[in-house]
Amino acid sequence: MPSIWKHLKQAGGFPHKANPMNTVPIHPDSYADFLTPDELHRVQLYRLQTAVQNSYDKVPLTRDRMKERGLKPEHIKTLADVAHLPFMQKTDLRDTYPYGLFARPMSDIVRLHASSGTTGKPIVVGYTRDDMAVWTSVMTRTLCAAGLNQMDVIQNAFGYGLFTGGLGAHYGAEALGATVIPISGGNTERQIMVMQDFGVTAIFSTPSYFLHLIEAIEATGTGFKGLKLKVGVFGAEPWTDAMRSHIQDRAGIKAYDIYGLSEIIGPGVATECCQQSGLHVFEDHFLMEIVNPETDQVLPDGEEGELVLTTLSKQAIPMIRYRTHDITSIITEPCPCGRTLRRIKRISHRSDDMIIIRGVNVFPSQIEAALLKVEKSLPHYQIVLSRSGGLDQIEVQVEVTGEMFRDRVSALEQLQKKMSQAIEHVVGLRANVRLVEPQTIARSQGKAKRVIDKRMEGSTL
């Protein structure tokens, strides 16, 4: 593919300058990052038509919705025709729990992952062997874009398990040929020991956990001196450029933002490159549109709106026009890194009320459901998010009502504990429940503001 080499040459070689191994050739999977628009569009259209046909044939929900609009797979003649197709939502996965959107028999499914859901039931996603290959490939390309290669020793502090972060990054790093330490999240002391003793050059984690690690490492006395850490790959929760500067200054590393979601594939949907200026979407596997979240109309490049993704190659669960609720815009200027994949701006906020805490997706309605389990009627409540020592803290303030108020301290403490446990049961995170006096939670137009996010406030964090 001569065009790729031409682009690479224009880009002046691939890996970023901080990488001492910048003479190492890029991983072959990254070639697809440098396709010409024509090449890319050809691949996209072929894959889109296949994906729509697959979904229409195998997923009743897609077929029914397309029939309602008088649409057939053969109506997809150009990439722009995707705009005729109905949207898919998170609720579609929930309503068809667990396997309703699967387009392949279980004999073809080699992996399941799950993320939190609103009623205690998670959202289940499946992967065929080919899906795993695609996921591994886009993660390999992600890590390549962060300048990593087979010489790197990677400490993967994303959580392993049902969460897609840990295993997704793991497979990509292994395929890259790097040395992977599957340490998972938590146990800060051990993280530091491994980082010091194993010659770790790169770390994957949530940005908030790394902030916590920075403080712990600085407290060791030697700090970052003597560590070989050069690169951090951070994702699974929103963070800011101010946090990036803080991380890069304090830890002396390059910090990259990655983007992904389980419903689409997991991590590996989009990534920053050495330019650290917007995230390249792996458009050969994920077709992106930006829509106006209110009118559902497709917006032109450059305008801010909701990111809508269609999986082009996913077999197990083809997602057609999936509403991510993440607000961003497409950057139209070509990237100096040479990648021809278009970039999106760092996700700044969401069009719904979902919050991401320590990498876990949480809806206020889940907290509500938990509180309703403890008390028969829903009390006024507010979720206050803060960051302490680099870790996200959740406090749920609950206004005390006559029905729940007891004269004994132990009874009230018991109530707080029960609410906290109910929340942990539903969302999988520990929350501190604080009982507050009636009418102390501010209401605007009679409605309480459910979430107060103080995580980005005040300091540079």
Partner 1 sequence: MTLKQLSIFLENKPGRLGHPCKALAAAGINILTLCLADTEQFGILRVIVRDWEKAKAVLEQAGCVVNVSEVLAIEIPDHPGGMESILAILEPNAINIEYMYAFTLKRGSNAVMIVRVDKPDQAAKALQKNGLALLDASAFFTLA
Closer residue to partner 1, CB minimum distance, 434 or 450: 434
Shortest distance (Å) from residue 400 CB to partner 1: 5
Cβ 401 to partner 1, closest distance in Å? 7
Show the binding pattern over residues 176-205: x = contacts partner 1 (CB under 8 A), - = does not. ------------------------------
- Pick between residue 23 and residue 388 the one whose CB is nearest to partner 1: 388
Q: Give the interface size with partner 1 as a residue count (CB under 8 A).
A: 18
Q: How far is the CB of 422 from partner 1 (least distance, A)?
A: 18
Kind of pairing, strands 451-453 and 381-388? parallel
- Of 20-28, 33-41, 89-97, 438-446, the window that binds partner 1 (rule: CB under 8 A) is 438-446
How deeply is 403 buried, as exposed, middle or buried, from its count of CB atoms within 10 A (0-12, 13-18, 19+)?
Answer: exposed
SS3 281: strand
Measured between alpha carbons, how far is 147 from 141 in angstroms, rounded to an integer?
10
Smallest gap from residue 385 Cβ to partner 1 (A): 18
Instruction: Determine if 437 is a binding residue for partner 1 (CB under 8 A).
Output: yes
The tokens of 301 are what?
Answer: 């490049």
**Residue whose pair of structure tokens reads 């289940």 in the numeric block:** 124
Q: Which is nearer to partner 1, 225 or 408 (CB)?
A: 408
Rounded least distance, CB 408 to partner 1, Å = 6
Question: Of these, 327, 354, 436, 448, which contacts partner 1 (CB under 8 A)?
Answer: 436
Question: Closest approach of Cβ 384 to partner 1, in Å?
Answer: 13
Q: Does 434 bind partner 1 (CB under 8 A)?
A: yes
In the bound state with partner 1, the residue whose beta carbon lies nearer, of 350 and 434, is 434
What does the alpha-carbon distance between residue 343 and residue 69 come to, in Å, rounded to a whole number? 32
User: In the Cβ-directed half-sphere of 19, how many Cα atoms lie within 13 Å?
Assistant: 26
Which residue lies nearer to partner 1 by CB, 295 or 439?
439
Q: Restricting to residues 238-297, which ones interact with partner 1 according to CB under 8 A?
A: none
Residue closest to 117 by CA, chosen among 424, 366, 441: 366
CA dist 85 and 8 (Å) reads 36
The region of 33-41, 53-61, 339-347, 437-445 touching partner 1 under the rule CB under 8 A is 437-445
Tokens 């392949």 correspond to 104
Considering only CA atoms, which of 348, 374, 376, 378 is closest in space to residue 364? 378
Q: In the range 386-415, which residues lie near partner 1 by CB under 8 A? A: 400-402, 405-409, 412-413
User: Which residue, 294 or 437, has its beta carbon nearer to partner 1?
Assistant: 437
Fill in the DSSP letter of residue 85. S
Shortest gap between Cβ of 436 and partner 1 (angstroms)?
A: 6
**Taking the complex as a whole, how short is the minimal distance between the CB of residue 383 and partner 1, in angstroms?**
16
- Considering the rule CB under 8 A, would residue 442 count as an interface residue with partner 1? no
What is the C-alpha to C-alpha distance for residues 53 and 45, in angstroms, rounded to an integer? Answer: 12
CB burial of residue 433 (10 Å; 0-12, 13-18, 19+): buried
Other CB atoms within 10 Å distance of the CB of residue 437: 8
Closest distance between partner 1 and the C-beta of residue 153, in Å? 44
User: In sequence order, what are the beta bridge partners of 29?
Assistant: none
Cβ 85 vs Cβ 71: under 8 Å:
yes
Candidates 438, 443, 454, 457; binder of partner 1 (CB under 8 A) is 438
Binding to partner 1 in span 295-334, by CB under 8 A: none
Q: Please, which residue, 61 or 412, has the CB nearer to partner 1?
A: 412
Number of other residues whose CB lies within 10 A of the CB of residue 100: 15
Distance between CA atoms of residues 155 and 153, nearest Å: 7
Least Å distance, CB 450 to partner 1, is 20
DSSP of 179-236: EEE---S--HHHHHHHHHHTT--EEEE-HHHHHHHHHHHHTTSSTTTT----EEEE-S
Q: In angstroms, what is the minimal distance from the CB of 440 to partner 1?
A: 7
Nearer to partner 1, 216 or 412 (CB): 412
From residue 160, give the alpha-carbon distance in Å to each of 137, 281, 284, 374, 430. Answer: 19, 24, 27, 31, 19
Helical axes 164-176 vs 129-145, angle rounded to 10°: 70
- With contacts defined by CB under 8 A, name the span among 30-38, 124-132, 136-144, 428-436 that binds partner 1: 428-436
Instruction: Candidates 121, 440, 443, 457: give the one binding partner 1 (CB under 8 A).
Output: 440
Among residues 285, 40, 320, the alpha carbon closest in space to that of 142 is found at 285
The residue ranges that bind partner 1 (CB under 8 A) are 400-402, 405-409, 412-413, 416, 434-440
